[in-house]
Amino acid sequence: MFKVNENYLKLPGSYLFSTVGKKQRAYQEAHPDKKVIRLSIGDVTQPLVPAIIEALHKAVDEMGHAETFRGYAPDLGYEFLRNAIADNDYKARGCQISADEIFVSDGAKCDSGNIQEIFGLDNRIAVCDPVYPVYVDTNVMAGRTGTYDPVRETWSDVIYMPCTADNNFAPELPKETPDIIYLCFPNNPTGSTITKAQLQEWVDYANKTGAVIIYDAAYEAYISEADVPHSIYECEGARTCAIELRSFSKNAGFTGVRLGFTVIPKELKSGDVSLHSLWARRHGTKYNGAPYIVQRAGEAVYSPEGKAQLKEQVAYYMKNAAYILNGLKEAGYTVSGGVNAPYIWLKAPNGMTSWEFFDHMLENANVVGTPGSGFGPSGETYFRLTAFGSYENTVEAVNRIKAL
């Protein structure tokens, strides 16, 4: 008689964004006359830029002719894309990352969920609190998190690193020593960042304690301040302790195109065992590459035209971020983020919980955000708004909130 993976049954409720979506749809069905504005899920709204559209059409044409048709992609991704990434995202910033340390994938969500597989079940994980829920949820599914406390909404074997107004949303080194440390900067959901000097402390700590850092830099394109690192490999010693995850979803609008990559330096080892070789084995055995046409679209992100067009696209969203940030400040809210990230982090007023404020916003302003408590216990009483709407909708949403 077959047995299911009982770890799945420990997961409380459904995935955060599914619940948000359900509540929104229920409200919309009950009030078909209302225009609900979604500033909740981190999905982009601007179309792909012309350089990318052109690259896609060209690659599609290649697939239609025997001489230029491409079947299975190389295990780690096409060299043209891995070279473009190595040159632009790493060498140009002085980071020593070579093309064969880059693994192209269909997105950072898959990578951030799958990366835990190459580690044993007896590792203790540490996460920022609040943070993107996929890190913890996928460790729950693997059986690495102990038991769930439904009151505190925490797992017994997870080390939570609170990121609150008290520490300016930057985690402190944990008291218990973790084996695997998930860091996400610019942070989802708080929109906060840490400086290069602060990140260097984490790298030093990981090297000293033998921990591995899984560094999720999905939002690096939104960094505007000079002392904020774009890659963990800007720090000395990161090659022996850090894996970096990157996405094309937010810098190039690929949420529906699907492309990302993971960097594992060859020096990153446990004894003799290189994590690079384990991840290569996983890629070779369980994955079959990102589509050729999508990898060509990724290449176009790094072309001169692509770069110029995407700079404008990011600026468009950051104009939204500034509008939200300033508008809510004017309305008397306590807000942060929105400077190096497309997320604005908002304190719910009058002692409201995150979900109470969610309902309040949905019902009274017809604006959908994401309850901060969905990202971890320290997210309670907070609320996330995203800058990924259209400018018109963003302005309308902020004005409605101000009018409340």
Residues 84-103 that bind a copy of itself (CB under 8 A): none
Q: Distance between CA 104 and CA 82 in Å, rounded?
A: 7
60 lines the binding site for a copy of itself (CB under 8 A): yes
Q: Distance between CA 115 and CA 272 in Å, rounded?
A: 19
Q: Distance between CA 23 and CA 17 in Å, rounded?
A: 10
Q: Distance between CA 67 and CA 60 in Å, rounded?
A: 13
Q: Is 358 known to sit in a ligand binding site?
A: no
Choosing from 28, 83, 114, 303, the residue that interacts with a copy of itself (CB under 8 A) is 114
392 lines the binding site for a copy of itself (CB under 8 A): no
Query: Which structure tokens are listed for 6?
Result: 């009982």
Nearer to a copy of itself among residue 111 and residue 220 (C-beta): 111
Q: Which stretch binds a copy of itself (CB under 8 A): 185-193, 282-290, 301-309, 315-323?
A: 282-290
In DSSP terms, which residues pair with 336 in a beta bridge? Answer: 345
Q: Which stretch binds a copy of itself (CB under 8 A): 87-95, 166-174, 188-196, 254-262?
A: 254-262
- From residue 288 to residue 327, the character string flagging contacts with a copy of itself as x (rule: CB under 8 A) and all else as - is xxxxxxx---------------------------------
Q: Distance between CA 244 and CA 308 in Å, rounded?
A: 25
In DSSP terms, which residues pair with 386 in a beta bridge? Answer: 343
Residue 228 Cβ vs a copy of itself, minimum distance, rounded to whole Å: 26
Q: Distance between CA 248 and CA 316 in Å, rounded?
A: 17
Nearer to a copy of itself among residue 336 and residue 342 (C-beta): 342
Query: Which structure tokens are listed for 111?
Result: 């990578």
Nearer to a copy of itself among residue 168 and residue 390 (C-beta): 390
Q: Is 391 known to sit in a ligand binding site?
A: no
Q: Which stretch binds a copy of itself (CB under 8 A): 57-65, 160-168, 224-232, 307-315?
A: 57-65
Choosing from 210, 319, 330, 363, the residue that interacts with a copy of itself (CB under 8 A) is 210
Q: Distance between CA 263 and CA 214 in Å, rounded?
A: 10
Burial class of 291 by CB neighbour count within 10 A (0 to 12, 13 to 18, 19+): middle
Residue 334 Cβ vs a copy of itself, minimum distance, rounded to whole Å: 30
158-162 and 125-129 as β-strands: parallel, antiparallel, unpaired?
Answer: parallel
Choosing from 110, 173, 352, 395, the residue that interacts with a copy of itself (CB under 8 A) is 110
Residue 133 Cβ vs a copy of itself, minimum distance, rounded to whole Å: 8
**DSSP assignment, residue 252?**
S
Q: Which stretch binds a copy of itself (CB under 8 A): 23-31, 39-47, 326-334, 364-372?
A: 39-47
Residue 208 Cβ vs a copy of itself, minimum distance, rounded to whole Å: 11
Q: Is 321 known to sit in a ligand binding site?
A: no
Choosing from 284, 308, 364, 404, the residue that interacts with a copy of itself (CB under 8 A) is 284
Choosing from 48, 95, 97, 368, the residue that interacts with a copy of itself (CB under 8 A) is 48
12 lines the binding site for a copy of itself (CB under 8 A): no
Radius of gyration of the chain (CA): 21
Question: Do 238 and 268 meet the contact criterion of CB atoms below 8 Å apart?
Answer: no
Q: Distance between CA 330 and CA 340 in Å, rounded?
A: 20
Query: Which structure tokens are listed for 82?
Result: 């891995």
What separation, in Å, do the N-terminal and C-terminal C-alpha atoms of the chain show? 58
Nearer to a copy of itself among residue 36 and residue 41 (C-beta): 41
Q: Interaction with a copy of itself in 145-184: which residues (CB under 8 A)?
A: 179-180
CB half-sphere exposure, 336, CA atoms < 13 A: 18
Q: Distance between CA 25 and CA 36 in Å, rounded?
A: 10
What residues form the annotated binding site? 15, 42, 72, 108-109, 132, 188, 219, 247-249, 258, 288, 384
Binding residues for substrate: 15, 42, 109, 132, 188, 288, 384
